Amino acid sequence: MLEVLGEKVCFPNASKSRHQQINFFFRFSRFTDLNLPSAHALRKEDKISSYFDTELPVYSQSRIYVPNVEVGKQLDVFDLLGDKLLSFKQSVPSFRPTKFRRCVDSCDPNIGAHRGLKGALDVRRIQPHKLSSIGMESTLNLKGKYIMICCVFAPLVWWSSSGDMAHCIALASHELAKRDDFVLVVVPMMRMGFTESRSAYRHFLSGFSCHAVPFHDSLRREYICSALGFDGFTKAVILDPSQKVLFHDTPSMFFQFGGDEHDFFPFTPEREEICLARDDDLDGLSLNELLGLGDSDVLCNMLKDARTTVSELKQKLVGLYMCSDCRSLRTIQEVREECRRQKYELEVVVVCCPPDRAPPRLQQELVMDALASHKMLDVWFFPFNNTVSQRLNRMREIDSFEEGLFIVDSKEQYVDTYGLAIIHDFGIGCYPYTRRTLVEKEFQRLRGLRLSSLLLPWEHVCRKPDDSTSSVDEIPVAQALNNNKIVLLYLYTERYKSLAKKLAEFTWLEKSTRRKPSNVEVVAVSIDGSGASHKDFMEKGLLVCSADPTKSAKLCADFFHPALGPHETLAAFDEDGRITSMKASQFLEKSLGSRHPSFHGDLREEIREEFNEATYLYMLHC
């Protein structure tokens, strides 16, 4: 095991086989057998990861006394940490590309070599950032600051559960290093076989911007881990400047939040609840707030090295493509081409949001290679930012997609996180790919319908006279609808007619309790073309359109949204033949005996409910 655990495999590095595996997931269709990740090497890493996830810490001596760490209580942090701490400062550059390969139209792993460019699949080019300095500081320098002490098992393999958490904490640590009121102290608990390895200790801490208890003071590190109740899984305590404990638990919040998240500091459960509640309300959010940028900040375009400011971009309709593994890139490409053909406004911004346990620098390089292969170098590009990536991941829809497309309409002050789902379900022609627009278009379409046009294929409707004869009267449709009445249009199939009984009771009560003729007429149409229920409906006072599959199919095509399909419906139309409700059954009991029965619903809300009932669950709240 020790032979396998070289520095090239341990956190913060990821092995060559893991890099190849991530490459494979991104674009497996381009791989040859030579590029496939080594299954043997991956199995070794997985075996080590499983062992690490079950290993328990071994303390060199039992401790009778350790400080009591309890939320809300004071903790003498200087006594806990000792006199001196190491300071690890990282050189963390912006994750902007150092070189962009314009490599397109090829499946060769050495793509671009004939142009003097490195192969797009050369995984060795991705290296972690380097330590800029290591110094020694007095713990007295921590006075008046928030302090987070984090106990972690070391070394770690990236693909272990603790490795994933260490990665998230490390990303946040680089952001938090910019604060002058906060200090992160990482306390590595060295695993069996590594207790004497100073290089493993330093290599592990090279992934963080932090302070640390010196390697030689192993008893101090054990003392701190014992006080925090370290049991092999990462454990942290957060103290305010008065040394009161604010948090003591596994720091899982960094799975969801970056270090720069507004209102999240100092990372307490109360702060987390505030931020999560804020994420639920996207109305009024600007492009600036989503990306954490100012008006003067600049986004780049890789094709011509063009630039645009956020102030210019936010005046347009923007699609933020949360790019994880590029699985939706072809869809985004088709959407852009459709918008260009139709001369629609849509500016696409690609935002790097690495999948779990993928090194951000590697993911960003792979994204840029994919953009090149799709000839999409002219999109605006937002490089990896941990806080922004975490924020967008919290906000995006998670029902079906691991990537997301946020449609940001600054003019309407509206953000829709379901752009990809809408395109997937309703097609690339449903510009501008927002739920609100889908509902509004359907509202306008329905309001443009007229009952007379829907029933035009039927020249007559059938009715049974009030007397007890078995005859049936045929009344011209125009005459039946020209009585200044509210009309309830009942569309049903023989298999699904759950409203029939309720509707028959309403019709009977309307006629038996009113002194004057009812102001409501009910017309039944079989949308499956069956006439089995016609006689029963007419006996209960309903008007019936004769069974005709062809005519029913035309009515369904005119009335129902293509994505919803024909289904049992009771719709209300006013005296002018305009639709007033798609769910008129809710008004049946309320309207009984009323001189002026109302069947006016909130048509937009009913449309949302219709989409929701058709399994487009994301349409209900928009």
Instruction: Give me the chain's average pLDDT, please.
Output: 85
pLDDT of the residue at 49: 79
Confidence of residue 118 (pLDDT cuts 50, 70, 90): very low
**Pairing relation of β-strands 347-352 and 380-382?**
parallel
Strand order in the sheet with 235-239: 131-138, 84-90, 210-212, 182-190, 146-154, 235-239, 245-249
186 touches 210 (CB < 8 A): yes
What's the pLDDT at 577?
Answer: 94
* pLDDT greater than 80 at residue 591: no
The domain 287-433 belongs to what CATH superfamily? Glutaredoxin (3.40.30.10)
Q: Where in the chain is the domain with CATH 3.40.30.10?
A: 16-92+129-272, 287-433, 451-619
Nearest Cα to Cα of residue 350 among 293, 417, 413, 406:
406
pLDDT at 576 over 70: yes
Q: Is the pLDDT of residue 227 over 90?
A: yes
Q: At what angle do helices 360-373 and 16-27 cross, to 10 degrees?
A: 30
Looking at residue 544, what is its pLDDT?
Answer: 95
What pLDDT was estimated at residue 121? 35
CA separation for the pair 593, 581 (Å, rounded): 20
Rounded to an integer, the average pLDDT of 23-44 is: 64
- Residue 371 and residue 97: Cα distance in Å, rounded? 13
C-alpha span between 134 and 202 (Å, rounded): 10
Q: Has residue 374 got a pLDDT over 60?
A: yes
Nearest-angstrom CA–CA distance, 596 and 44: 78
H or E element, residue 444: helix 435-447
> What is the model's pLDDT at position 37?
67
Query: Per-residue confidence at 359, pLDDT binned at 50, 70, 90?
Result: confident
Is 198 within 8 Å of 214 (Cβ atoms)? no
pLDDT over 90 at 292, yes or no: no
**pLDDT confidence of residue 99:** 33
- Are β-strands 520-526 and 543-544 bridged in parallel, bridged antiparallel, or unpaired? parallel
Residue of 7, 22, 16, 10 whose CA lies nearest to 365: 22
Asked if pLDDT for residue 432 goes beyond 90, the answer is yes
Q: Which residue has the higher pLDDT, 300 or 149?
A: 149
Banded pLDDT at 11 (limits 50, 70, 90): confident
Give the position of tokens 């028959």: 504
Residue 466, both tokens: 């009030």
Residue 194 has pLDDT above 80, yes or no: yes
Question: In sequence order, which residues have a C-beta less than 8 Å from that of residue 177 and are 6 or more positions away?
Answer: 89, 90, 184, 209, 210
Whether 125 shows a pLDDT value over 70: the answer reads no
Residue 112 has pLDDT above 60, yes or no: no
450 pLDDT above the threshold of 60: yes
What is residue 540's predicted lDDT score, i.e. its pLDDT? 87
**pLDDT, average across residues 521-535:** 92
User: Range with the lowest mean pLDDT among 86-100, 227-241, 376-390, 395-409?
Assistant: 86-100
What integer pLDDT is reported at residue 137 of this predicted model? 80
Mean pLDDT of the 334-361 span? 93
Instruction: Give the CA count within 13 Å in the CB-facing half-sphere of 581.
Output: 17
Q: Is the pLDDT of residue 100 over 50?
A: no
pLDDT at residue 435 tops 80: yes
From 111-115, 215-219, 223-227, 516-520, the region with the lowest mean pLDDT:
111-115
Q: Which of 28-32, 102-106, 434-438, 607-611 has the lowest mean pLDDT?
A: 102-106
Query: 190 with 183: CB under 8 angstroms?
Result: no
Q: How far is CA 614 from the centre of its chain?
A: 21
Helix boundaries (H) for 560-596: 588-591
pLDDT at position 14 is 80
- Cα atoms in the Cβ-side hemisphere of radius 13 Å centred on 175: 19
Residue 205 pLDDT class (50, 70, 90 cuts) = very high
Q: What is the mean pLDDT of residues 308-317?
A: 90
User: Given this model, what pLDDT does residue 131 score?
Assistant: 52
Binned at pLDDT 50, 70 and 90, residue 110 comes out as very low
**Domain 16-92+129-272 in CATH 3.40.30.10:** yes
The backbone torsions φ and ψ at residue 266, rounded to the nearest 5 degrees and listed phi first, read -100, 40
> In the Cβ-directed half-sphere of 338, how many Cα atoms lie within 13 Å?
14
Q: What is the pLDDT of residue 119?
A: 35
Q: Name which of 130-134, 198-202, 253-257 the model is least confident about.
A: 130-134
Residues 6+ apart with CB under 8 A from 241: 143, 144, 145, 146, 181
| CA separation for the pair 236, 76 (Å, rounded) | 15
Q: Is the pLDDT of residue 228 over 50?
A: yes
List of residues 6+ apart from 298 with CB closer than 8 A? 307, 308, 309, 310
Q: What is the model's pLDDT at position 27? A: 63
| Residue 21: pLDDT band with limits 50, 70, 90 | confident
The answer to whether the CB of 486 falls within 8 A of the CB of 570 is: no
What is the homologous superfamily of the domain 451-619 according to CATH? Glutaredoxin (3.40.30.10)
Which of 19-23, 504-508, 578-582 ranks highest by mean pLDDT?
578-582
237 SS3 class: strand
Q: Above pLDDT 70, what percent of the chain?
A: 86
